Structure 1
Amino acid sequence: MSALSDQLTYRLYASGWAAVKRLPERTAYRLFERVADRAWAKRGKGVTRLERNLSRVLGPEATAEQVRALSKQAMRNYLRYWCDTFRLETWSRERVDSTFLIDGVEQMDEAIASGRGAVMALPHMGNWDHAGAWATGRYHGFTTVAERLKPERLFERFVAYRESIGMEVLPLTGGQNPFRGLMRRLKAGGMVCLVAERDLTDNGVPVQFFGETTKLPAGPASLAVATGAPLFPVTLWYEPGHQRALVHPAIEVPAEGTRAQKIAVMCQSLADVFAKGIAEHPADWHMLQRLWLVDLDPAKAPHE
């Protein structure tokens, strides 16, 4: 991407972000729903990839009409996520908390109160920024990792936004090893939150996910093994007027096996919980990218 193109991309993004915050709320959400419907109707690469992914969630018995109907709602929820995110800086603490309804929170409270820290692992569901804003208010901040975006100014804008609502954001690449920063937070008894069903490093752990092989990032399980902090899967979904979240029981570190074997077992357990949550709320899973190995590179797919 050229410097001129980078600058244009950033300016368009920044001006759009500012404009959405100033719009009347009902107008903003209606606009984003229309954008979602238009994108869905155009059937671009993101929409067709989303439908292929959702087809795996629904299974071979699903009809094309069922997949299309689900993908339309999924696009609306995806654009709702972006509208929420652009406007989140304007929300009061009372609104952040009152519109985020969470079950299982006592598990996280206990882990933090005990000084063990907690690792929260989430799929791309609902609005993880809203969840993060809620968590920063309850637990006085947490540490996460972010993929570097292009242009660099856009990445810096996202980091500044997330830091403004109480997150510590470590870049996945191009800086110090983020694992050390995550370990530091956990050893201090704090919280780490990671979006964790898509491997961005090509060093992930193979797992079975909706009947096909993909890779999960090893980070959440590795941190739990290294520090003793409990690993909690969290799934998110939208309901009218608010967002719901479920903190699932902690994934235990296996008593036997090498470090790599323990991490592999925990990653598969994490994939299983994610799959259950996604199957229950498939329209809230925002996966518009290739995920399974057979889609990324057929040559990498396992053979019987």
Structure 2
Amino acid sequence: MTQDSDGRLQARLIAGLWRTLANWRPAALWRLSRLVGPLVQVGSRRERRVTRINLAQAYPDYSETVRRRLARRSLIHSSATMLELGMAWMGDPEKVEASILEVHGRELLDEARAEGRGVIVLAPHFGNWEVLNFWLSGHFPFTAMYEPPKLLDLDPIIRKGRERRGAELVPTNPRGVAALLKALKRGETVGILPDQTPGWGSGVFAPFFGRPAYTATLLPKLVARTEARVVTGVARRLPGQGFALHFLAADERVYSADEAVSAAGVNACVEAAIALDPVQYQWEYKRYGKIPERLEGRPDWKRYRLY
């Protein structure tokens, strides 16, 4: 697959921004985010619209004024995540490590490893998940699935950044799943994004904030074959300071062999992470993009679409 000249230029500009910001301190990046976030709010109609729709689904009892305030703050945090990528991938490793000011729940990882069990870390799009990847790959043998970006010229930059502390990246296909199974059987740690909508046939509908969301069924397959422990992990931003890592025990339903039950547990894990600070979740992702009515082949399925 080739990339056109506009794509190459866009990739160069993004990479240049990351390099420029790579050694900025978290406090400075946060100040910049507070300037950029309102511009995203005004200029990015899609992100603003999807964020507001998702917040209305998650917090129907909140007033419209409160939800709009949450949306504005959420887009500032999303801007911060993008601006922090250079630091996470290219910054001085000692400085990135120093920006992680708190680690909560590490004992969940250590206990599982002491028992010789692998650990599956569910890492939702909350805070800065690349900082979480940085820390995990520096402290444990760590494997994660990886899909190249749409801007192909960014692929070597992202891959190098994610692998620089020893992480092993595997493709999002059966070969990658096999690699995850091997890592777990060796008692290692693997990372899974639990809130990405899979392709048709690779998931089930399960409640997410009370509304059906199409959810991947990879987790119960991995658990059934490895008896791994499941933990939710996030890097919560401490605005103007750095980050706090949180590792949370998973909802017990994730261990069910029933894919629908397990998927409900996965979504409950994501909800528990979001509860740490709802504005740090990436609400602009179309989590409800697939709907049961379409899967059922109903001719009127479009009337039920949110986006």
TM-score range, shorter chain: 0.7 to 0.9
| Structure 2 residue corresponding to 1:184, chosen from 182, 185, 194 | 182
Alignment correspondent of 2:55? 54
Q: Distance in 2 between matches of 1:34 and 1:93?
A: 27
Does the 8 Å CA contact 1:57/1:279 hold for their aligned counterparts?
no
DSSP-derived class of the 1:12 partner: helix
Cα deviation, residue 35, structure 1: 1.4
Alignment correspondent of 2:215? 216
Cα deviation, residue 227, structure 1: 0.6
Does the 8 Å CA contact 2:124/2:193 hold for their aligned counterparts?
yes
The answer on 1:44 being equivalent to 2:45 is yes
Q: Distance in 1 between matches of 2:96 and 2:154?
A: 27
Equivalence map 1:67-106=2 (5 Å): 67-88=67-88, 89-93=90-94, 95-96=96-97, 99-106=100-107
Letter of the aligned partner of 1:285 in structure 2? Answer: Y
DSSP-derived class of the 2:187 partner: coil
DSSP-derived class of the 2:213 partner: strand
| Structure 1 residue corresponding to 2:262, chosen from 260, 266, 269 | 266
Alignment correspondent of 1:16? 17
Q: Distance in 1 between matches of 2:91 and 2:38?
A: 26
Cα deviation, residue 297, structure 1: 4.9
Letter of the aligned partner of 2:83 in structure 1? Answer: C
Change (3 A) 1:229 1:253: farther
Report Cα offsets for 1:240-284 as digits up to 9, x if no partner. Answer: 31323332224557898xx4x2x3322211212322332442101
Does the 8 Å CA contact 1:230/1:252 hold for their aligned counterparts?
no
Change (3 A) 1:34 1:298: farther
After superposing the two structures, state which structure 1 stretch, 1-10 or 228-237, moved more: 1-10
- Output the TM-score relative to the length of structure 2: 0.85
Cα deviation, residue 33, structure 1: 2.4
Equivalence map 1:158-237=2 (5 Å): 158-172=158-172, 177-202=175-200, 203-237=202-236
DSSP-derived class of the 1:30 partner: helix
Does the 8 Å CA contact 2:213/2:291 hold for their aligned counterparts?
no
Equivalence map 1:123-162=2 (5 Å): 123-139=124-140, 141-162=141-162
Q: Distance in 1 between matches of 2:104 and 2:276?
A: 15
After superposing the two structures, state which structure 1 stretch, 28-37 or 93-102, moved more: 93-102
Change (3 A) 1:110 1:3: same
Unaligned runs of 5+ in 1: none
Q: Distance in 1 between matches of 2:182 and 2:40?
A: 42
Does the 8 Å CA contact 1:124/1:285 hold for their aligned counterparts?
yes
DSSP-derived class of the 1:248 partner: strand
Does the 8 Å CA contact 2:212/2:292 hold for their aligned counterparts?
no
Q: Distance in 2 between matches of 1:179 and 1:267?
A: 18
Equivalence map 1:254-293=2 (5 Å): 259=257, 261=258, 263-292=259-288
Q: Distance in 2 between matches of 1:151 and 1:91?
A: 25
Letter of the aligned partner of 1:206 in structure 2? Answer: F
Q: Distance in 2 between matches of 1:206 and 1:107?
A: 29
Q: How many residues align?
A: 293
Q: Distance in 2 between matches of 1:24 and 1:276?
A: 29
Cα deviation, residue 124, structure 1: 0.7
Cα deviation, residue 100, structure 1: 4.4
Q: Distance in 1 between matches of 2:64 and 2:251?
A: 36
Does the 8 Å CA contact 1:119/1:193 hold for their aligned counterparts?
yes
The answer on 1:66 being equivalent to 2:62 is no
DSSP-derived class of the 1:123 partner: coil
Change (3 A) 1:56 1:93: same
Alignment correspondent of 1:300? 294
Q: Distance in 2 between matches of 1:14 and 1:254?
A: 38
Q: Distance in 1 between matches of 2:281 and 2:287?
A: 13
DSSP-derived class of the 1:129 partner: helix
Letter of the aligned partner of 2:264 in structure 1? Answer: Q
Letter of the aligned partner of 2:148 in structure 1? Answer: R
Q: Distance in 1 between matches of 2:193 and 2:186?
A: 21
Does the 8 Å CA contact 1:54/1:282 hold for their aligned counterparts?
no
Unaligned runs of 5+ in 2: 299-307
Cα deviation, residue 199, structure 1: 2.1
Cα deviation, residue 205, structure 1: 2.3
Cα deviation, residue 70, structure 1: 0.6
Cα deviation, residue 301, structure 1: 7.2
Q: Distance in 1 between matches of 2:276 and 2:26?
A: 29
Letter of the aligned partner of 2:151 in structure 1? Answer: P
Does the 8 Å CA contact 1:100/1:134 hold for their aligned counterparts?
no
